[in-house]
Structure 1
Amino acid sequence: MPREHRVRDIAVQAGLSETTVDRVLNGRAGVSPRARRQVEQAIQDLDRQASQIRLDGRTLLVDLVMQAPRRFTEVVRAALEATLPGLRPVLLRARFDLSETAAASDIVGTLDKLRKRGSQGVILKAPDEPEVIEAVDRLADAGIPVVTLVTDLPTSRRVAYIGIDNRAAGATAAYLLGQWLGAEPGSALVTLSRGSFRGEEEREMGFRSTLRRLSPGRQVVELAETDGLDTTIHSQTLAALTADPTINAVYSIGGGNRAIVQAFADLDRTCRCFIAHDLDADNVDLLRAGALSVVLHHDLPTDLHRACQHLLHAHGLLPDVRPAASNLHPVTPFNLPSR
C-alpha cells in the first residue's frame, strides 16, 4: 500500500487509530475488512487533495456528511475538493461520510462520532428529524459548526443553510410545465427521495401551489420514499403509469431519472415535459439525448465555497459572510455549461 502520506494524516482522514492504520499498511493480521477499506479510501482522498493543498501546515478538517444517491454525492465530493485551493491562505482538508440509504439513527451515529473524535466543521445533507437536530445541537455545544447543504434544518443550531430557495424552485418547475403543456390535459408525476428532506418537501409544496393556480385542472401523482435509487423508482414509476394512463409530465425532485425515462419507454408512453434538478452525469446525458426538457441547476462549486466560508467565519478566520440563496438556472440542451 502507498506510503506517500504520514500514518497520522491517514489515521485522521480515516477516523481510525494510528495503530490500526499501521497494521493495515504493513499487512498485519487483526484488522477488519471495513478498516482496510477505510484506510484505502483515506489514502485516495489524500492523494486527490494533496495536488490541491499543502498538508504540512495548520490544516482544518471539515466533514461532508450526506445521504443521497451516489451520482449526486460524487458530484458534491468533487465540487468540495475543487473549492479547497480557493480558500488559501487557510488550509482545509475534507473527509467524507456518504451513503445512499441511511436511517436518521445512522446519521446521528455519524455526527456523534465526529463530535467525539473531533472536526472543525460539518457540511450536512440530512433529513429534518428531531434526533438529527439534537445531534447537530450537540456538535454546536462542542464548538463544531454545521452548515446544511441543499436541504435545511432550520430549527437546529446550524450556522448557515447553503442552497437554492426550494419553494421558488418548485414554483419555477410548475410554471415551466404549464408553459410547456399549455391546455393539453394530463397528470404530472412528482417524485421525491424522502419526504423528511425539508428541501424536497418545500419544492413539492411550491410546485403544487403554483400548479394549482396556473393549471387548476392538472392532477399531481406523487412518488415518495424512493431514496432516488433507480431500482426503487423504476418499479414505482411503472406502477404509477399503469394506474394513471393520463400521466404525461414529470417533475423529478429526488432523482433517478434514467429509471423514470426507462419506465415510460417500457410502457411505450410519451413524456411531454420532464423537469429535473442538478447537472450530474446522468442528467447531462439525458438532456443531450432529449429525454429531459429542462434541468434546474445551481452551481455546486460556488455553494461548497460559500459553505466553507461560513465554517471559517464560525472559527473567526473570515469576516462576516452574508447569507444568500443560490442562483437557479434553467438549463436546456442548448445552454449546457462548458464545465
Structure 2
Amino acid sequence: MYTFETSRTSDCDRRERGEWWRDQVSSIQCRMSFELAADYRGRIEHQRSDSYQVIRWWGDAEEISRDRQQVRTDPRDAYELVIPIHGALMLRQDDQTSHVAPTQMALISLDRSLDLRHGDGFSSIAFIVPRERLDLRLPRLSQSGVTLAAKLGLGRIVVDMIASLRENGASLAGSQFDAICDRIVDLLALTYNADTTAAVVDVQEGLVTSIRRFVRENAHDPGLTGAVVAARLGWSLRNIQTQLQRVDTTPSDLIREERLALARLRLQDPAWFRQSVTQVAYASGFGDLSTFSNAYRRHFGERPSDTRSAARDDA
C-alpha cells in the first residue's frame, strides 16, 4: 500500500485544532505528549508505504516528549531522520542535547525517550525508517539523537534525495518509493559513519566500503564467495573476515544480503516482470529457490511473490 495525503488544521474548528494536531501527529509517528496552543496552526504532507514514511510539516511553536511508558505501550521499531527546513529544533535523547539548524539533520530512535521543541514558523521533513533496515547497515549504531551535517557531502545528497522523493511523491508507485528509500538508507548509513567515526577508523571504514561495493557489483555471480572477494581485491580471506567482523557480519552474510537487495529491485522492476520469481532468484546469484524464498521472507517480512504482485498492481 502506498499513499500520499495532505491535511491541515485549517480544516478543523479553531478550538479543536490543537487536539486534532496531537492525534494526527501521534497516529503518523508514535504516541507522544504535546504542549501547544489550543488554536494551533499546522499542515502535514504525508507519504507512506508499508515500510517507509516521508513527512513534510509546517507548524506553530510546540514542545513534544515521548516517555518510557509511551515507548512500551506504543513501540514503533523505527528511526526518524529529522531535517529542519526553517527554524531550529532543540532535541534531547540518550542524555545528549542538540540544537539542530537547517544546515543539519538529527537521527533519533522512536523507541527511546525523547524531548524536542521548536518555535513558531517551524518547518521540517521527517524520514521514518524501519529499525531493521538501518540496523542491517549500521549494526553498531552507538547512539540516537545524533546530529549529522546536511549542507555538504553525503548529507546534502541524502537531503536532496528525500526532498525530491517528497516533491514527486504523487507520481510514484509504491515499489518505486520503496526502492528509492532503500538507496537513501544506504547513503544515510554512509553519512552516519562519516560524521561519527574517528579519523583513525576512517581507513578501516574505507576497506569495508570497498568490500561492500565489490560484493554489490558482483552479487549476481552464483560463484561469488568470500575467497573470491579476497582474491579479486588482492587481500587475504582472513583480512576480509576481520574487516567485516568489525561491522558484525561475515562474507557469506554480506553476499546473501546484497543478493536479496538485488532480487528485490528486480522483482519490483517492470522490465523484469516477464521473468518468473525462480528466474529472478537464479539471475540474482541464488542457486536454490527454497533457500532464496526462505531468506527473502526472513529479511523483508513477505514472500517474493508478494513483492512482485504489489509491483504489478502499482504498475
Structure with the higher strand share, 1 or 2: 2
What TM-score, normalized by structure 2, do the two folds share? 0.27
